[in-house]
């Protein structure tokens, strides 16, 4: 899908369209949760091979990586390649919940354990019996919960809130964190004994900027999902892909997906050109000014300002030659003309361009 804009349109490799699909403007793309990391980089291939070697393992797994690097996908892959794959993967996000709520959610509670507890309720650990429980962002769990989790890992025991009874469970734990290696090592993010128990098997996921080879296959995946959801096929031009590959993409795959969602909105022919990608990156506040283009990208500029300046600078550089400007911008000439009208940009004469360059 990252072919030259001159190539004829091609259908996505496994897109499925439906007349009931509707266009979205940034909402999550729905569908079954992926269970395999996508990518061709040596790093991603190595991670997939490691997960495959762990098929017979029952030990806990700790997955470490920046936000958006695919930690939950990796967790689903570990589960799907385990002896517990016939059972569901249970997921609990440890961030953003008060300590008492999180304790009750994980361990359950008995009737009368606290105000409003009108009936006993099983916790997620009990409901995950025989299966796998993913503790997303485990380093955000409060100290008391970390202590209780250590007991689960060492003895396979839980104690519902308000109960004197200890129950035995059979659950495999997978945990994720976006904390740095230093924070994990010095104990500021996770108590050392819990880290040692959870980290029996460790997966470290590199940020996307360290594995740019994965950007193209990930973009293909996300564009396939867009095609299924919107009922329209999309593809990246070669220059559009180059812009993405050169971008830092601090939000990793999550940011990549949202950039493609934004960039595709104004592409009626389904071809996502470099200018659309640049606009989408800018609207996501990810393009930073450099010394070379500070006149175009300044901190106070609006998106319209940036586009207008960039188009004007390109026209000046090409002496007002629309065909050459369109080629440099990696967009059709008709699209360039549309943008010139939209942003009220006058085409400079060759004489004006020579005067400015002088």
Residues 113 and 135 in one domain: yes
Name the residue among 166, 176, 183, 70 with its Cα closest to residue 132: 176
If you average pLDDT over residues 194-213, what whole number do you get? Answer: 94
The residues that bridge with 157 in the sheet, in sequence order, are: 168
Shared-domain flag, residues 179 and 274: no
Q: What is the mean pLDDT of the chain?
A: 82
Domain presence at residue 91: yes
Considering the domain architecture, whether residues 204 and 225 belong to the same structural domain is answered as no
CA dihedral 56, 62, 64, 69 (to 10 degrees): 50
Q: What average pLDDT does range 243-251 have in this prediction?
A: 91
Model confidence at 210: pLDDT above 60: yes
* Chosen domain end from 189, 208, 227: 208
* Region at 252 (left for phi over 0; alpha for psi -120 to 50; beta for the rest): left
Q: How many domains does the chain have?
A: 2
Cα angle 77-97-84, degrees, rounded to a multiple of 5: 25
pLDDT in tens, 266-320: 788 899 999 999 999 987 654 443 333 444 445 556 667 777 888 888 888 777 8
* In a domain? residue 34: no
Say if residue 140's pLDDT is above 80.
yes
- pTM of the shown model: 0.71
Q: Would 260 be classed as within a structural domain? A: yes
* Same domain flag for 101 and 168: yes
Shared domain check, 159 and 70: yes
Give CA–CA dist 224/141, Å, rounded. Answer: 36
Q: Which of 81-90, 146-155, 334-343 has the lowest mean pLDDT?
A: 334-343
Q: What is the mean pLDDT of residues 256-263?
A: 95
Do residue 202 and residue 235 come from a single domain?
A: no
How much is the pLDDT for 17?
33
Are the C-beta atoms of 31 and 14 separated by less than 8 Å?
no
Q: Which residues of 254-274 are buried (b: 16+ CB within 10 A; e: fewer)?
A: ebbbbbbbbbbbebeebbbbb
Residue 248 to residue 286: CA distance in whole angstroms: 8
C-alpha radius of gyration, the chain, whole number: 26
Same domain for 117 and 252?
Answer: no
Residues 227 and 137 in one domain: no
Whether residue 187 is found in the same domain as residue 230: no
CATH classification at residue 224 = 1.10.8.60
Q: Out of 30-44, 98-112, 114-128, 215-229, give the one with best mean pLDDT.
A: 215-229
* CATH code, domain with 102: 3.40.50.300
The segment with the largest mean pLDDT, out of 22-26, 69-73, 114-118, 180-184, is 69-73
Domain stops at, among 190, 208, 226: 208
Task: Let me know if residue 11 belongs to a domain.
Answer: no
Residue 221 CA, distance from chain mean position: 12
Contact in structure between 150 and 194 (CB atoms under 8 Å): yes
Mind listing the pLDDT tens digit for each residue in 16-35?
Answer: 333 333 222 233 444 556 77
Distance CA 278, CA 275 (A): 5
Stretch 204-211: mean pLDDT: 95
Same domain? 277 vs 138:
no
Residue 157 pLDDT: 94
Mean pLDDT of 146-173: 93
Q: Which residues have C-beta within 8 Å of that of residue 340, sequence separation ≥ 6?
A: 311, 346, 347
Tell me, yes or no, whether 198 lies in a domain. Answer: yes
Question: Which pLDDT score, from 0 to 100, does residue 26 have?
Answer: 32
CB 348: neighbour CB atoms within 10 A? 17
In a domain, 334, yes or no: yes
Residue 171 structural domain: 42-208
CA distance 26 to 23: 9
């Amino acid at each position: 899908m990252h072919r030259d804009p001159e190539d004829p349109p091609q259908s996505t490799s496994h897109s499925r369209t439906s007349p009931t699909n509707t266009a979205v403007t940034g909402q999550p793309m729905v569908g079954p949760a992926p269970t395999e990391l996508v990518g061709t980089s040596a790093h991603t291939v190595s991670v997939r091979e490691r997960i495959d070697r762990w098929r017979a393992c029952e030990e806990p797994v700790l997955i470490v990586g920046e936000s958006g690097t695919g930690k939950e996908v990796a967790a689903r892959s570990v589960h799907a390649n385990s002896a517990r794959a016939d059972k569901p993967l249970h997921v609990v996000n440890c961030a953003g919940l008060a300590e008492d709520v999180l304790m009750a959610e994980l361990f359950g509670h008995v009737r009368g354990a606290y105000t409003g507890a009108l009936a006993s309720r099983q916790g997620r650990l009990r409901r995950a019996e025989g299966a796998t429980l993913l503790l997303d962002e485990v380093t955000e769990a409060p100290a008391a919960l970390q202590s209780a989790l250590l007991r689960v890992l060492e003895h396979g025991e839980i104690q519902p809130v308000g109960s004197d009874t200890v129950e035995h469970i059979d659950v495999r734990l997978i945990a994720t964190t976006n904390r740095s290696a230093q924070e994990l090592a010095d104990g500021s993010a996770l108590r050392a004994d819990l880290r040692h128990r959870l980290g029996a098997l460790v997966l470290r996921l590199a940020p996307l900027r360290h594995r740019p080879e994965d950007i193209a296959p990930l973009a293909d995946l996300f564009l396939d999902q867009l095609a299924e959801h919107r009922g329209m096929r999309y593809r990246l031009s070669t220059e559009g892909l180059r812009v993405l590959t050169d971008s830092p993409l601090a939000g990793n795959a999550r940011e990549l997906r949202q950039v493609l969602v934004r960039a595709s909105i104004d592409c009626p022919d389904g071809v996502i050109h470099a200018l659309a990608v640049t606009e989408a990156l800018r609207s996501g506040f990810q393009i930073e000014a450099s010394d070379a283009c500070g006149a175009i990208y300044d901190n106070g500029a609006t998106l319209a300002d940036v586009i207008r300046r960039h188009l004007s600078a390109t026209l000046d550089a090409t002496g007002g030659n629309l065909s050459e400007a369109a080629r440099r911008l990696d967009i059709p000439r008709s699209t360039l003309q549309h943008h010139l009208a939209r942003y009220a940009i006058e085409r400079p004469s060759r004489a004006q361009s020579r005067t400015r360059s002088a």
